Chain A
């Protein structure tokens, strides 16, 4: 019969139309600004810099190795490396970024900077309401705007952050053990030198491990 297929389709739409009044799960949208769906745990928008301790400037994990700047596909990261070194959050002497800008109007949220970072210093944020009327300066985020605490990182990606923390703690324990061993051997060498020769001993100190260049 002509029109049978159309009627069948109409029955299907009628079923869906009526169903939307009955079952709650058919309502797939929410009233956005008032109601919000929490972002997925893995969600990524733009990168931010992680810092430990209270002071964001002292606690930045970034050591300005510039790997992310080099690997970034659209080249939206700008880093200036410091001339001097200062102790990082574990006490090692490291370089630090005097400038770390990300142009989020160019960034394509691909997460490659996060993957290549050897220091777990850069991670992905879930903040997406970043619209601004300042077209030139407003979308170029500097160090201060990018710095977010490790607690914030735990808040937005709990599983990933605890994995990262475990990995860092392990590395730190290893570094501590190495430093201790180096110190012990240096002390022993100095003692040997002092006993063997009468000359004033110039104790070879355990060299603090240099920063990544």
Chain B
């Protein structure tokens, strides 16, 4: 048997070829993967230097989808930036809304009514579930499972998006949260529908796991690939499921208790190895934890107003000051940093995008792996180019 990177849970008989030392002969082959490459999500380029199949160097190149979000926001009123935040990470517009609303609420010291807080938690957790499910779908597609797991994920995502459409008016660009609450109230019928969707989710996750978790091909392609050491992850500022897959216990829902997350009982799943399989598994377990949060929130949601009566839509001028609001978005720590100079526009508006910062360790994870593995590692980072480039 050939020696290989040992993985404790490796399936016997499915070893990858061992890493070859460079023989020092011949030239490196430079390949530009992307920006229009079928394996990349969106317009992203990787300049890869190869020795045979092995990656020697990798340089991520981004900026193809740059839309000047931060500068536009500095010229627009506070409210006018809200629909633009939908377009950062277009898979999870509701969590983006929440992060921005949280930053502005910190800036002006607004309180959010109880019912709106519950609504935010419910919508954020539904967003997390549909994001993780489709991420895993895309990850498997990059391994060659062309469509089946992705369609299973999208079938469930469809139900959640239909709920979003009925509540907010749009499936993806929700533009739902406002400073000091939420825009429209949820009806009792819609809440019942949400309960029905949540009741069906554990069955879906079981089905999804039966389809994938013990699949030998998936294990062979994922285990031991793209390892990220916890020290490097902390130093690079990685957050979200990627950090937790490396075994670092850091979840902003637990650390900051923003919103009303201290009222819910949930666990934070952690990985042992920091490889692609752990990232997959952490996402599956997070979906299960999100379901338990949803069950608690949907049981306890109180009646009442959904907007702070003191908040106003027109003529919104915060006092001079600065604020940073951050939440645990499905992809990691999403933060908005605002400086106000007392005018209707922010003086400085800065987004801390989890996707971009999680991408910075792509080279460290890919060195020494083969080209086919680069695609899988890239898929496991879970990025959306709208958020990377802004």
- A contact set with B: CB distance below 8 Å: 2-6, 8-9, 11-13, 16, 28, 40-44, 67, 71-73, 108-112, 115-116, 124
A4-B214, A42-B165 given; A73·B83 CB < 8 A? yes
Contact present for B210 and A2 (CB under 8 Å) = no
Nearest CB to that of A43 among chain B residues? B169
A16 to B155, CA, bound (A): 12
Chain B residues near A13 (CB-CB < 8 A) = 148, 211
Chain B residues near A5 (CB-CB < 8 A) = 213-216, 218-219
A42-B184, A43-B165 given; A71·B211 CB < 8 A? no
B179 → chain A closest CB, angstroms = 12
- B contact set with A: CB distance below 8 Å: 11-14, 76-77, 79-84, 86, 148, 152, 155, 158, 162, 165-170, 173, 175, 183-184, 207, 210-219, 313-314
What total count of A-B pairs have CB within 8 Å? 82
A84 to B334, CA, bound (A): 51
Contact present for B81 and A73 (CB under 8 Å) = yes
Contact present for A108 and B173 (CB under 8 Å) = yes
8 contacts between A and B (CB under 8 A): A2-B11, A2-B13, A9-B212, A42-B167, A110-B82, A110-B86, A112-B80, A116-B314
B277 → chain A closest CB, angstroms = 13
Contact of A108 among B83, B158, B214 (CB under 8 A): B83
Contact present for B173 and A71 (CB under 8 Å) = no
Contact present for B170 and A73 (CB under 8 Å) = no
Nearest CB to that of B159 among chain A residues? A28
A9-B215, A67-B314 given; A73·B80 CB < 8 A? yes
Chain A residues near B14 (CB-CB < 8 A) = 2
A124 to B155, CA, bound (A): 28
Contact present for B83 and A44 (CB under 8 Å) = no
Nearest CB to that of B86 among chain A residues? A110
A32 → chain B closest CB, angstroms = 15
Nearest CB to that of A115 among chain B residues? B313
Chain A residues near B82 (CB-CB < 8 A) = 110, 112
A164 to B21, CA, bound (A): 73
A95 → chain B closest CB, angstroms = 19
Contact present for A40 and B166 (CB under 8 Å) = yes
Contact of B214 among A8, A41, A67, A72 (CB under 8 A): A8
Q: 5 other contacts beyond A2-B13, A16-B152, A124-B169, with CB at 8 A cut-off?
A: A8-B210, A40-B165, A42-B166, A42-B184, A67-B314
A63 → chain B closest CB, angstroms = 15
Contact present for B158 and A109 (CB under 8 Å) = no
Chain B residues near A8 (CB-CB < 8 A) = 210-211, 214-215
A2-B216, A12-B211, A44-B169 given; A28·B158 CB < 8 A? yes
Contact present for A110 and B214 (CB under 8 Å) = no
A111 to B166, CA, bound (A): 15
A103 to B249, CA, bound (A): 49
A72 to B80, CA, bound (A): 7
A8 to B87, CA, bound (A): 39
Contact of B166 among A11, A41, A71, A112 (CB under 8 A): A41
Contact present for A3 and B216 (CB under 8 Å) = yes
A150 → chain B closest CB, angstroms = 20
A60 to B165, CA, bound (A): 29
A72 to B211, CA, bound (A): 47
Contact present for B215 and A71 (CB under 8 Å) = no
Contact present for A112 and B12 (CB under 8 Å) = no
Chain B residues near A108 (CB-CB < 8 A) = 83, 173
A13 to B213, CA, bound (A): 14
A71-B77, A109-B173, A116-B313 given; A2·B168 CB < 8 A? no
